[in-house]
């Protein structure tokens, strides 16, 4: 399950994707961060169709030219590999559709519904004025900010025209049908050439208003067939509005969705109720609410604010004249209040502010928005900056007065130029959003800087984001880090999180793991889920802190309990592996389900694996396929291939070649080599697709170029036959050679036969390839040493052979004859052993006087390394029993093949990426020709071999040691003690090997920890019994596993499906089953037949 694990914390890419927010017209949408800027990221793939890519370009073009308060703001485009990201403003409250579905929009809240309808109309009026038609307006494409303000989004289907043709938009245009049928105007349906216009968008607005009125997001929900719904709309049928719909609202809906588009209003003419935000004309976005004129006088910024017509809004010499209303003076016996009333009447602004506050909060008087506003405004006109901020907020929210963004901006400005830090921050927000002023990033940044310098925490954090992005200011990571530090010191947990990541990555500051962890911890303690998640990854990786599975698990759980999907997946994964917590499939499944319900692909894939393999739950291919399909729908090519195989085999779903081909195609188009091979085979056989040899050859070629052995073999067959390609023995030989270079015995055999017959390659080269000698052009790359870096007689390195990662054991020709004989022995043994718990041998390679044995790479190193790293401290006894059982499986297999290991110990037991046992280091083996399985217990003659502290007593002090299968079983008992005691050195208190050997010969054994389960201890004691005849055979010891499976030690790897679904590069490890496996075999048989004919 390694492919499902999270990546390490450090990320050099400035883009970090967060939780999924849903889907747009052609792409998924995620919450994201660009540097320190929080945004929304819409994701597309370059492999999408031309139509989809044109829609992406269209959306970018539309958003770049649209700058309005009610249109989602576009930031930039970013490409990473084959993905394109559109970074846009984040609408914190999601879509209007989600608000309706969640019940956030109360049924009786008609003022809010009218306001939202007005704001949608203003957005439409603006885009229509800019020459843009939306063409897909619905509640799902209307987003809501944290203040529940409308932002039109998803312009992927927009129609864009030049400014010269803007006026013609009402006259219709020809285009293919575009949009969502239930929101489409009747003139667009059931006609060969739909004519889009501004009135088409207005019709959709009427449907959206019905959605809000009826609290439903599916018009004509009783109609399942879109074709019938389209016909009904075309005939004039409409949804029914609720009985309590206000008459004004009902009238506007009916005008908007009028059958005759000439009777529908233009968006700029739509006004519902008394909405201060629309008084100056919904379509006049360019004027905004006010215009600012800046002048410099005595070094102080002053301003004059005008309405669009040049008049001055709300200009009064005496605030008491406002609306001809005079604020009341409370009647009270409270001496303090009485004193303040007297002072307020005499013009004391602090007293006036006090009266505004008590009416605002109902403190000792009846709460009155009108009286609060009157007294606040009176204090504000007398120069109270605090009162000016209160007045601005009241205008902004429409609390006791008509809502007016222009008046709000005017009062915020008056307070801001007098140094009020909150007003300065609010002015920055007004300029950022374009509320009451013309949108201006540079002016917004100037106010952010003033507020930040005066200590405003939110301004400091936002300013750091702007410096990181270069928005309104010159991009500077150093300045971003400076303001993050200021905000973080004030306790802003978002700033603490980002500052921690700045230190982690060395972005704008000197890199420091210690500082990073300190700031992340501060944020995590305050409950920041991203910080908690990142700390878990840090303790898991061991960078900057001691590696600790327990601490990692603790932080993951904190984030998971707050609903963070990625952390929930990781908690589930820890329960599966027993890392930092006791292993539990039940708890793992619960956490996977929590994350999967949030559409976390890793968790969904893990649930698929649990159901497919029956891990802690009843095995169910149906449930497995259910979860795999959810992952496949998100574009995971590995899982798409697996789903294709399940359809092909009829596992969990009804067998269906067409659906299998569909999923293979999706994965193949994303570059999956396994899918490309299978899709080629489908075209070759005409299964699920029309038979097409040319297409088969094309897909085989793509898979072969990526290193797929089976694709290479199949392509070679096509070249030999001239099927789908021009016949060419040379090309056939080339692809067989590539397969042979990856250790494919079938390809090596075919090459030997083919080329000895004089086809394709010269005879000597053919013999070299067939015998495993590397051709001069073979790519061999030697990497780092692995672990302690040595086997019995040679060092071990990570390496690559072509595209195949592997382990390379290194020897020199100048070693002793005994060593070279041991090397030859190990090669001969590994070539014949093919079993899941035996390390796989690929080939030999000679270079510069060195011999390399290329073998399967065990990603988790040896069992000894795992013990020394402390990884078995937190592993429960069932997991240790499983490892012991798998070692016994491996021994049972080699004993059945007539092989004795002679050197079983924890350092010779390797662990795969899934922590499965792989026996290795066969340099000391004894190999026999079997007459019967029982002959493995016969006496064998030879020299003293093995590692003393793991050797059975009958082998010590004997002139001719008698090695048997029971000698290996004895060593298994010692390895079980190593796991139990978390120690890799038996008799560690005694350095003298001679004394240790004498003790073993006398029957002394190591002591098990007190918490060792009785069953585990008894099995170990049976294995290392003094009398070999009383020890079990390895085939009996497989029962050590507490939850033993029914598999036989002779189980074939071909029946196993690996979790990560990656193709084995060795033909001998064919993993796919049943009918489709036979198709691949048939391809190889055809090659055999052709060579025989040649």
Binding residue numbers for ATP = 42
Give the residue among 628, 621, 277, 574 at the shortest CA–CA distance from 436.
Answer: 277
With 0-12 / 13-18 / 19 or more C-beta atoms within 10 angstroms meaning exposed / middle / buried, residue 12 is: exposed
The label of the residue with tokens 């004895």 reads 970
Radius of gyration of the chain (CA): 37
Which residues are CB-contacts of 81 (< 8 A; sequence separation ≥ 6)?
A: none
Task: Bin 619: left if φ > 0, else alpha if -120 < ψ < 50, else beta.
Answer: beta
Which residues are CB-contacts of 89 (< 8 A; sequence separation ≥ 6)?
A: 39, 40, 72, 73, 74, 75, 151
Other CB atoms within 10 A of residue 328 CB:
16
* Spatial separation of the C-alpha atoms in residues 124 and 1002, rounded to whole Å: 93
The label of the residue with tokens 């990856």 reads 742
Query: Buried (b) or exposed (e) across 462-501, using 16+ Cβ within 10 A?
Result: bbbbbbbbebbbeeebebbbbbbbbbbeeebbbbbbbbbb
Give SS3 for 1008: coil
Q: Are 124 and 152 in contact (CB under 8 A)?
A: yes
Of the chain, the end-to-end C-alpha distance in Å amounts to 46
Which residues are CB-contacts of 998 (< 8 A; sequence separation ≥ 6)?
A: none
| Angle at CA of residue 931, ends 926 and 935, nearest 5° | 55
* Spatial separation of the C-alpha atoms in residues 92 and 146, rounded to whole Å: 5
* Spatial separation of the C-alpha atoms in residues 52 and 54, rounded to whole Å: 5
Provide the 8-state DSSP code for 276: G
Which residues are CB-contacts of 238 (< 8 A; sequence separation ≥ 6)?
A: 210, 254, 257
CA distances from 278 to 268, 300, 406, 501 (A): 10, 33, 11, 43
Residue 785 parent element (H or E): strand 780-790
* Spatial separation of the C-alpha atoms in residues 59 and 63, rounded to whole Å: 6
* Spatial separation of the C-alpha atoms in residues 440 and 458, rounded to whole Å: 19
Q: Are 1038 and 889 in contact (CB under 8 A)?
A: yes
* Spatial separation of the C-alpha atoms in residues 1024 and 1032, rounded to whole Å: 10
Residue list for the binding site: 42
Find how far residue 742's CA is from the centre of its chain: 32
Q: Are 744 and 709 in contact (CB under 8 A)?
A: yes
Strands 150-152, 300-306: parallel, antiparallel or unpaired by DSSP?
Answer: unpaired
Other CB atoms within 10 A of residue 180 CB:
18
Query: Buried (b) or exposed (e) across 339-356, using 16+ Cβ within 10 A?
Result: ebbebbeeebbebbbbbb
Q: Are 419 and 454 in contact (CB under 8 A)?
A: yes
Residue 417 parent element (H or E): helix 405-417
* Spatial separation of the C-alpha atoms in residues 154 and 62, rounded to whole Å: 10
The label of the residue with tokens 């984030």 reads 559
CA distances from 795 to 12, 14, 821, 946 (A): 34, 40, 17, 18
């Amino acid at each position: 399950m390694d492919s499902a694990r999270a990546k390490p914390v450090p990320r050099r890419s400035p883009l970090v994707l967060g939780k999924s927010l849903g889907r747009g017209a052609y792409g998924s949408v995620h919450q994201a961060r660009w540097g320190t800027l929080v945004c929304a990221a819409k994701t597309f793939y370059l492999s999408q169709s031309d139509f989809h890519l044109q829609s992406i370009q269209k959306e970018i073009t539309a958003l770049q030219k649209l700058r309005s308060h009610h249109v989602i703001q576009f930031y930039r485009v970013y490409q990473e590999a084959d993905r394109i990201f559109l970074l846009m403003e984040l609408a914190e409250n999601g879509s209007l559709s989600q608000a309706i579905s969640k019940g956030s929009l109360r049924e009786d809240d008609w003022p809010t519904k009218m306001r939202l309808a007005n704001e949608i109309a203003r957005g439409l009026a603006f885009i229509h004025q800019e020459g843009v038609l939306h063409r897909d307006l619905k509640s799902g494409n209307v987003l809501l900010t944290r203040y529940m303000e409308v932002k039109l989004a998803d312009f992927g289907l927009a129609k864009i025209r030049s400014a010269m043709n803007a006026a013609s938009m009402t006259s219709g245009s020809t285009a293919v049908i575009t949009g969502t049928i239930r929101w489409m105007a009747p003139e667009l349906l059931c006609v060969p050439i739909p004519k889009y216009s501004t009135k088409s968008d207005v019709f959709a607005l009427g449907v959206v208003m019905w959605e809000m009125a009826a609290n439903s997001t599916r018009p004509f929900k009783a109609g399942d067939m879109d074709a019938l719904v389209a016909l009904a709309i075309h005939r004039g049928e409409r949804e029914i509005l609720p009985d309590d719909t206000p008459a004004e609202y009902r009238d506007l809906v009916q005008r908007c969705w009028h059958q005759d588009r000439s009777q529908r209003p233009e968006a700029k003419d739509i006004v519902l109720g008394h909405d201060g935000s629309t008084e100056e004309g919904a379509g006049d976005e360019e004027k905004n609410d006010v215009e600012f004129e800046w002048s410099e006088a005595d070094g102080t910024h002053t301003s004059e604010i005008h309405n669009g017509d040049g008049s001055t809004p709300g200009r009064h010499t005496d605030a008491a004249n406002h609306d001809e209303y005079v604020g009341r003076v409370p009647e009270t016996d409270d001496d303090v209040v009485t004193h303040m009333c007297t002072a307020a009447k005499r013009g004391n602004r602090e007293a006036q502010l006090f009266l505004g506050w008590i009416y605002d909060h109902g403190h000792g008087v009846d709460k009155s928005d009108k009286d609060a506003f009157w007294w606040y405004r009176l204090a504000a006109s007398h120069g109270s900056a605090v009162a000016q901020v209160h007045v601005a907020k009241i205008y902004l929210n429409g609390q006791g007065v008509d809502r007016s963004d222009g008046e709000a901006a005017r009062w915020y400005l008056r307070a801001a130029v007098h140094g009020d830090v909150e007003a300065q921050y609010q002015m920055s927000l007004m300029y950022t959003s374009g509320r009451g002023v013309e949108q201006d990033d540079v002016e917004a940044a100037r106010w952010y800087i003033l507020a930040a310098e005066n200590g405003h925490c939110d301004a400091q954090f936002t300013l750091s984001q702007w410096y990181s992005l270069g928005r309104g200011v010159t991009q500077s990571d150093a300045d971003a880090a400076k303001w993050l530090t200021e905000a973080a010191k004030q306790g802003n947990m978002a700033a603490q999180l980002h500052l921690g990541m700045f230190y982690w990555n060395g972005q704008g500051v000197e890199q420091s793991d210690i500082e990073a962890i300190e700031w992340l911890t501060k944020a995590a303690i305050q409950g920041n889920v991203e910080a908690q998640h990142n700390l878990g990854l840090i303790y898991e990786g061991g960078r900057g802190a001691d590696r600790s599975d327990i601490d990692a698990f603790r932080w993951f759980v904190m984030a998971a309990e707050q609903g963070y999907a990625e952390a929930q997946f990781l908690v589930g994964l820890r329960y599966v592996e027993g890392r930092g917590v006791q292993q539990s499939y039940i708890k793992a499944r619960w956490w996977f389900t929590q994350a999967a319900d949030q559409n976390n692909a890793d968790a969904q894939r893990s649930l698929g694996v649990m159901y497919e393999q029956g891990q802690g739950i009843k095995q169910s291919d149906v449930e497995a396929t259910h979860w795999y399909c959810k992952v496949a729908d998100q574009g995971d090519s590995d899982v798409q291939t697996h789903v294709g195989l399940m359809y092909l085999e009829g596992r969990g779903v009804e067998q269906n070649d067409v659906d299998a081909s569909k999923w293979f195609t999706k994965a193949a188009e994303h570059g999956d080599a396994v899918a490309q091979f299978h899709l080629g085979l489908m075209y070759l056989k005409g299964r699920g697709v029309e038979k097409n040899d040319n297409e088969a050859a094309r897909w085989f070629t793509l898979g072969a170029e990526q290193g797929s052995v089976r694709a290479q073999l199949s392509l070679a067959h096509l070249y030999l036959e001239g099927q789908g390609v021009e016949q060419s023995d040379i090309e056939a030989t080339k692809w067989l050679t590539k397969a042979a270079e990856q250790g494919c015995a079938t390809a090596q055999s075919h090459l030997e036969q083919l080329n000895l017959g004089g086809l394709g390659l010269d005879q000597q080269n053919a013999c070299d390839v067939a015998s495993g000698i590397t051709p001069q052009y073979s790519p061999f790359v030697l990497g780092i040493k692995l672990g302690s870096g040595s086997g019995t007689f040679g060092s071990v390195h990570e390496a690559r052979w072509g595209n195949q990662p592997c382990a390379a054991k290194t020897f020199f020709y100048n070693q002793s004859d005994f060593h070279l004989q041991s090397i030859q022995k190990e090669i001969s043994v590994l070539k014949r052993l093919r079993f899941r718990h035996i390390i796989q041998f690929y080939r030999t390679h000679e270079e510069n006087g060195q011999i390399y044995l290329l073998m399967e790479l065990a990603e988790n190193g040896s069992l000894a390394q795992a013990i020394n790293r402390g990884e078995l401290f937190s592993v429960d006894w069932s997991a240790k029993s499983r490892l012991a059982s798998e070692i016994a499986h491996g021994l049972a297999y080699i004993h059945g093949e007539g092989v004795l290991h002679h050197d079983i110990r924890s350092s010779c037991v390797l662990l795969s990426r899934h922590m499965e046992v792989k026996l290795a280091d066969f340099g000391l083996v004894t190999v026999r020709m079997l007459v019967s399985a029982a002959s493995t217990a016969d006496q064998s003659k030879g020299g003293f071999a093995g590692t003393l502290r793991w050797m059975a007593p009958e082998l010590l002090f004997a002139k001719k040691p008698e090695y048997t299968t029971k000698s290996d079983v004895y060593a298994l008992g010692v390895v079980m003690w190593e796991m139990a005691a978390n120690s890799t050195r038996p008799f560690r208190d005694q350095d003298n090997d001679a004394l240790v050997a004498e003790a073993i010969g006398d029957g002394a054994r190591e002591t098990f920890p007190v918490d060792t389960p009785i069953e585990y201890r008894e099995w170990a004691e049976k294995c290392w019994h003094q009398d070999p005849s009383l020890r079990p055979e390895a085939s009996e010891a497989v029962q050590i596993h507490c939850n033993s499976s029914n598999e036989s030690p002779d189980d074939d790897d071909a029946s196993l499906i690996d979790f990560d679904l990656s193709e084995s590069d060795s033909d001998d490890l064919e993993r796919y089953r049943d009918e489709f496996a036979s198709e691949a075999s048939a391809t190889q048989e055809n090659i055999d037949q052709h060579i025989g004919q040649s």
